[in-house]
Structure 1
Amino acid sequence: MSSFEMETVISQDFMIQTARCLLRCPSAADIPSVFSATRFAGFNNGMQWEPPATIDELYEPLREQILDWEAGRTFSFTIADLSSNHLIGRIGIRKTERQNVWNLGFWTHPEHQGQGYMTESLKAVIEFGFERLGATRIDASYALWNKGSQRVLEKSGMQFIRYIPHAFQKKGQWIEANKMEITKQKWLALNCS
């Protein structure tokens, strides 16, 4: 069995601590904060999922996130304030069809944007991907207009690799995106110098 075929087993109790954040497996306690983020106008514009009509619509995605975590397909972390445990955002790292290549997706609650929490958390999840998941390459995409996400990815050491004219559809319109990546070799060079 190759390393790609092996299941990645990470306990749901696993946590990553940064200077200001605790990254942990999502829970039902997060749902009110997730729902409140989706109430901000434009919050979901750069994401493939639409805002839920009711808070109850968030329980099924939570169940799916837990199942994906257990199967080692996707590790979705709630980013919580280290002192209060209050949700700041969410970041996920998921397997792709390419061997040892993982993909990142993330969002920050609008009340906490622009404070560096996502850059801090993204760097920790990239390290997790390379050190614990055996990734050799990690990539992420952002909607062209989303300059905040672009800056977060750049600060984390990611570099532009290609433009995607038809990344996904939103309300019948194609969203343009850029794809960025970081290799383990580049990450090691940035973190060992």
Structure 2
Amino acid sequence: MERVIPHDLTIHTARCLLRRPVLEDAPAIFSATRFAGFNDGMQWEPPTTIEELDEPFREQMLAWDEGSVFAFTIADLATNGLLGRVGIRKTNRPNVWNLGFWTHPQQQGKGYMTESVRAIFTFGFEELGATQIEASYALWNKSSRRVLEKVGMKFIAYIPHAFQKQGRWVEANKMSISRREWSISVASGDRQ
């Protein structure tokens, strides 16, 4: 049975508030896409106008209601400023979910994403009933690799043709963590 996740769900970490996206996030998202290289490791191209973010927003809201994707805006708990996005998406395999994330370039390197991904693991394993959570990163994206390693994910596969970007294939590595591995790390105090 599918679990209904309320629209007003919020997840708190020590420094962050994870909440359902709102249209008012668009200017901060658009500003992130203006930084050179920001979209290089993502399957989507940067928008040319803020209005181009409207349709993806509507699609995310529908996907939330369908229970197939849960995207969260990561906001600074103190200022409510946008720090990034993190989402968890159903795969075609039962109880296996895929993680995706990005941090606004002005907020990178401060540990916000590691903190947020740990919270999404709790949501995925406890609320969604995931048995495994996977994520992929472009080989050159060492920051994303570090986040995934810090949260306990392990390498499972090299993907030579993960996706195309400007007509060229992007190589990626896939990482994974099982519910059992996550439970052990939480019980030992390694990941909270």
Task: Please state which band the TM-score falls in when normalised by the shorter chain.
Answer: over 0.9
CA RMSD of aligned residues (A): 0.5
Secondary structure of 2:4's counterpart equals coil
- Alignment size in residue pairs: 188
Q: Which residue of 1 aligns with 2:5?
A: 10
1:162 aligned onto 2:160: no
Q: Which residue of 1 aligns with 2:44?
A: 49
Deviation at 1:84, TM superposition (A): 1.2
Secondary structure of 1:68's counterpart equals helix
Answer yes or no: is the 8 Å Cα contact 1:143–1:177 preserved in 2: yes
Answer yes or no: is the 8 Å Cα contact 1:8–1:71 preserved in 2: no
Identity of aligned residues (%): 68
Deviation at 1:177, TM superposition (A): 0.1
Q: Which residue of 1 aligns with 2:35?
A: 40
Q: Which residue of 1 aligns with 2:180?
A: 185
Match of 1:96 among 80, 91, 94: 91
Deviation at 1:7, TM superposition (A): 2.3
Stretches of structure 1 lacking an aligned partner (at least 5 in a row): 1-5
Match of 2:135 among 114, 117, 140: 140
Distance 2:53 2:46 in 1: 9
Deviation at 1:8, TM superposition (A): 2.5
Deviation at 1:119, TM superposition (A): 0.2
Distance 1:18 1:70 in 2: 24
Distance 2:4 2:80 in 1: 25
| Counterpart code for 1:20 | R
Match of 1:87 among 57, 82, 85: 82
1:63 aligned onto 2:66: no
TM-score (norm 1): 0.97
Distance 2:46 2:65 in 1: 26
Q: Which residue of 2 aligns with 1:3?
A: none
Stretches of structure 2 lacking an aligned partner (at least 5 in a row): none
Secondary structure of 1:138's counterpart equals strand
Secondary structure of 1:104's counterpart equals strand
